[in-house]
Structure 1
Amino acid sequence: MNPASLIPMAEAIPIHWAWFDVLLITTFAAHVLFMNALLGSAAIGLVQAARGQAGLIREVGMKLPPLLALTINLGVAPLLFLQVNYGNFDYVSSVLMGGWWLAVIFVLLYSYYGFYLYKFKYETMGKGLRLVLFGSSVLGLVYVGFMFSNNMTLMLRPEGWQPYFDGYGGFLNWRDPALYPRFLHMMVGALAVGGLFVALLGKHMKNDGFVETGMWWFIRATMVNLAVGVWFLMALPDKVMLAFMGGNLPATLTLVAGLASAGVLLYAGFRMEPMRVAGWAALTVFLMAFVRHWVRVLYLDPWFTMDSVPVTNQYGSFYLFLGFVAGGGALIAYMLKLYYKSRQGRA
C-alpha cells in the first residue's frame, strides 16, 4: 500500500500558515517551560525524599497543583495550532494509538487529583501513603509524556501507519529509533528545568540548601541532555540529520543558535546565577522548540508542505483572536497586580 494514500486531504485555513506556525512554536515553548518545571521539580523532590530529605518535596508539593493547571492550559493552545496546520497527520496518529491516547486524559486527571490530595491532606496521610500517591502521580505524568512522544513521532511517519491495516489496532511507535532519544531528551530536560525551578524557589524563600540542590540538578541534567541531544540527532533519518548539519541553512542556524544559548545557559549555571539562568533557559527552550518544528517540517517534506494548503484569506477571526489575547492579557495583569497588592497589605 502506498503510504501517501493514507494521508487525508488538508482542510483550507483562514490565514497564511506561517501565523499558525509562529503561534505553535511560541505557545509550545511556554508549555514546555511549565511542564518541565512541574515534572522535573516533582521528580527531584521524590528523589530527595527517598534520600531522607523530606523538606524539598513538601515545599514543591505545595506548588504542583497550580503549576499543573497552568501546564494543561498552556498545552491546549499549541495542540490546537498543531491541528490547524498538521491535523491531517496528527488526527490520524491519535486514532491509530486508540486507547493508549484516550488513557492520557484519565491518567492526567489521576495525577492532578493526586497532587491536590498531597497538598491538602498532607497532615492526615501517613508518610508511606504520601510517597506512594506522589510517586504514582509523577509516573502518571511520565506516561503522558511518553504518549505525546509516541503521537508526535507517529504522525511524522505515514509509512509506519501500515500495521493498523494488518490488524494491529491501538499500537505505539515502538519501531521508530528516534522515539527513545526524543522522549529521553524531554525527560532529562525536565530535570534540568525542574532543578532551576527548585533553585528559584530557594532564592525566593532565602533557602541556600534549595538553591544548591536545584543548581546541582540543573547543571548535571543539562550536561547529560547535551549528550542525549546528540543521540537524538544521530537517530533521525539521514535526510533530516544532514539538513541540520549544513544541508538546510535555516535549520542548521537554528540548531547552532540553540546550542550556543545552551552553552551560555550552562556557564551561568556554573556561576550559580539562577535568575540569569532562567532568562537563558526561556530562550534556549524557544530555540529548541523551533528546532523541533524543523524536525517536523523535514520529516513531512516528502509527503506534505504547507504551501499546498488552500488559504481563504478570512482574517476576521484572527483579528478577533488577537483582541481576546490583548484583552485577556490585560485582565490577567490587572488580577496579578491586585493579588500582589493584597499580599503586601496582609504582610
Structure 2
Amino acid sequence: MNPASLIPLAEPVPIHWAWFDVLLIVTLTAHLIFMNALVGSAVIGLTRTLRGRGTVIREVGKKLPPLLALTINMGVAPLLFLQVNYGHFDYVSSVLMGGWWLAVIAALMFSYYGFYIYKFRYDRMGDSMRTALFATSILGLLYVGWMFSNNMTIMLRPEIWSRYFTAGGAFLNWSDPVIYPRFLHFMVGAVAVGGLFVALLGGFRANQDMIDTGMIWFTRGTLVNLAVGIWFLISLPQDILLAFMGRNIPATATLVASLVAAAFMLAAGFRKEPKKAAIWAVITVFIMVCTRHWLRTLFLAPWYSMESTPITGRYGSFFLFLGFLVVGLAAVAYMISLYFKSRQGRA
C-alpha cells in the first residue's frame, strides 16, 4: 500500500500559513512552561516526601490544581493551530490511536480531581493515602504525556499508518526508536523547570530550603536532559540528523541557539539566581519549540510541504481573532489585578 494514498488532502487556509506556524510556536511555548512547572514540581514534591521531607509537597500541592487548569487551557490554542496547518496528519494519528487517545480526557480529569482532593482534604487523610493519591495523579499526567508523544510521532510517519489494518485497530508507536528519548526529553526537562518553579516559590515564601532544593533539581535535571537530548538527536533518521548538523541552516541555527541559551540558563542556575534562570528558561523553551518545528517540517518533507497549501486570502476571521485576543488579554489582566488587590486587602 502506498502510504501517500492514506494522507487526506490539505484544506485551504484563510491567510498565509506562516501566521499559524508562528502562533503555534508562541502558544506551545506558553503551554510547555506551565506543563513543565506542573509535572516537574509534582515529581519533586513526591520524591522529597518519599525521602521523609514533606514540606515541598505541601507547598507545591496547593498550586497544582490551578497549574493544571492553566496547562490545559494553554494547550488548547497550540492544538488548534496545529490542526489548521497539519490537521490532515494529526487527525489521522488521533484516529489510529483510537481509545488510547480518547482516554487522555479521563486521565486528565482523574489527575485534576486528585490534586484538588489533595489540596482541600490534606488534613483529613493519612500520610499513606495522601502519597498514594499524589502518586496516581502524577501517573495520570505521565499517561497524557506518553499519549501525546505517540500522537505527535505517528503523525510524522505516514509509512506506519497501514499498521492499523494488520494490528486489528488502534495501535501505539512502540517500535519507533525516536519516541523514547523524545518522551524522556520532555519529562526530564519538566523536572528541571519544576525545580525552578519550586525555587521561585521558595523565594516568594522566603524559604531558603525550597530555593536550594529547587535549584539543585534545576541544574542537575538540565544536565541530565542535555544527555537525553543527545540521545534524541542521534536516534533521528540519518537524513534528518544531518540536516541538524549543517545541511539545513535554519534547523542547525535553532539547535545551536538552544544550546547557547541552555548554557546561560545553567550558569544562572549554578549561581542560584532563580529569576535570571527563569528568563533564560523561557528563552530556551521558545528556541527548543522552534527546533521542534523544524523537526516536524523535516519529517513531513517527503509527504507534504506547507508551500503547497491553498490560501483563500480571507482575512476577516484573522482580524476577528486578533480582536478577541486583545479583549481577552485585557480581561485576564483586569482579573489578575483584582486578585492581587484582594490579597492585599486580606493582608
* TM-score bracket relative to the smaller structure: over 0.9
Any idea what the Cα deviations from partners look like across 1:94-153, whole Å, max 9, x if unmatched?
000011101100011000000000001111111111111110000110010000000000
Q: What secondary structure, in the 3-state scheme, does the structure 2 residue paired with 1:118 have?
A: helix
Equivalent position of 2:221 in the other structure: 221
Equivalent position of 2:87 in the other structure: 87
Equivalent position of 2:339 in the other structure: 339
Equivalent position of 2:246 in the other structure: 246
Equivalent position of 1:121 in the other structure: 121
Please give the alpha-carbon distance, in whole angstroms, between the structure 2 residues aligned to 1:200 and 1:245: 36
Equivalent position of 1:322 in the other structure: 322
Q: CA deviation at 1:235?
A: 0.6
Equivalent position of 2:16 in the other structure: 16
Q: CA deviation at 1:162?
A: 1.5
For 1:149, give the aligned amino acid. S
Note the residue ranges of structure 2 that are not aligned, 5 or more in a row: none
Equivalent position of 1:231 in the other structure: 231
- Confirm or deny that 1:179 pairs with 2:169: no
Equivalent position of 1:101 in the other structure: 101
Equivalent position of 1:159 in the other structure: 159
Q: What secondary structure, in the 3-state scheme, does the structure 2 residue paired with 1:59 have?
A: helix
4+ residue stretches of structure 1 with deviation over 3 A?
A: none
- Confirm or deny that 1:6 pairs with 2:6: yes
Equivalent position of 2:35 in the other structure: 35
For 2:252, give the aligned amino acid. T
Please give the alpha-carbon distance, in whole angstroms, between the structure 1 residues aligned to 2:45 and 2:80: 32
Please give the alpha-carbon distance, in whole angstroms, between the structure 1 residues aligned to 2:284 and 2:170: 35
Any idea what the Cα deviations from partners look like across 1:45-96, whole Å, max 9, x if unmatched?
0000000001110110000000000000000000000000000000000000
For 1:13, give the aligned amino acid. V
Please give the alpha-carbon distance, in whole angstroms, between the structure 2 residues aligned to 1:169 and 1:260: 44
Q: CA deviation at 1:336?
A: 1.2
Q: CA deviation at 1:265?
A: 0.3
Please give the alpha-carbon distance, in whole angstroms, between the structure 2 residues aligned to 1:226 and 1:286: 16
Please give the alpha-carbon distance, in whole angstroms, between the structure 1 residues aligned to 2:2 and 2:85: 23
Please give the alpha-carbon distance, in whole angstroms, between the structure 2 residues aligned to 1:137 and 1:17: 38
Please give the alpha-carbon distance, in whole angstroms, between the structure 1 residues aligned to 2:70 and 2:339: 17
Q: What secondary structure, in the 3-state scheme, does the structure 2 residue paired with 1:172 have?
A: coil
Equivalent position of 2:288 in the other structure: 288
Equivalent position of 1:132 in the other structure: 132
Please give the alpha-carbon distance, in whole angstroms, between the structure 2 residues aligned to 1:223 and 1:52: 26
Percent identity of the aligned residues? 67
Please give the alpha-carbon distance, in whole angstroms, between the structure 2 residues aligned to 1:167 and 1:281: 41
Equivalent position of 2:258 in the other structure: 258
Any idea what the Cα deviations from partners look like across 1:197-221, whole Å, max 9, x if unmatched?
0000000000000000000000000
Q: CA deviation at 1:342?
A: 2.0
For 1:292, give the aligned amino acid. R
Please give the alpha-carbon distance, in whole angstroms, between the structure 1 residues aligned to 2:155 and 2:168: 17
Q: CA deviation at 1:168?
A: 3.1
Any idea what the Cα deviations from partners look like across 1:225-279, whole Å, max 9, x if unmatched?
0010011010111111111110000110011111100000000100000000000
Deviates more, 1:32-41 or 1:322-331: 322-331
Any idea what the Cα deviations from partners look like across 1:149-187, whole Å, max 9, x if unmatched?
000001000001111122431100111110000000000
Q: CA deviation at 1:345?
A: 2.1
For 2:323, give the aligned amino acid. G
Please give the alpha-carbon distance, in whole angstroms, between the structure 2 residues aligned to 1:166 and 1:180: 23
Equivalent position of 1:54 in the other structure: 54
Please give the alpha-carbon distance, in whole angstroms, between the structure 2 residues aligned to 1:107 and 1:338: 33
Q: CA deviation at 1:334?
A: 1.4
Q: CA deviation at 1:346?
A: 2.0
Q: CA deviation at 1:37?
A: 0.2
**How much is the aligned-residue C-alpha RMSD, in angstroms?**
0.7
For 2:327, give the aligned amino acid. G
Equivalent position of 2:302 in the other structure: 302
Q: CA deviation at 1:341?
A: 1.7
TM-score (norm 1): 0.99
Please give the alpha-carbon distance, in whole angstroms, between the structure 2 residues aligned to 1:298 and 1:187: 23
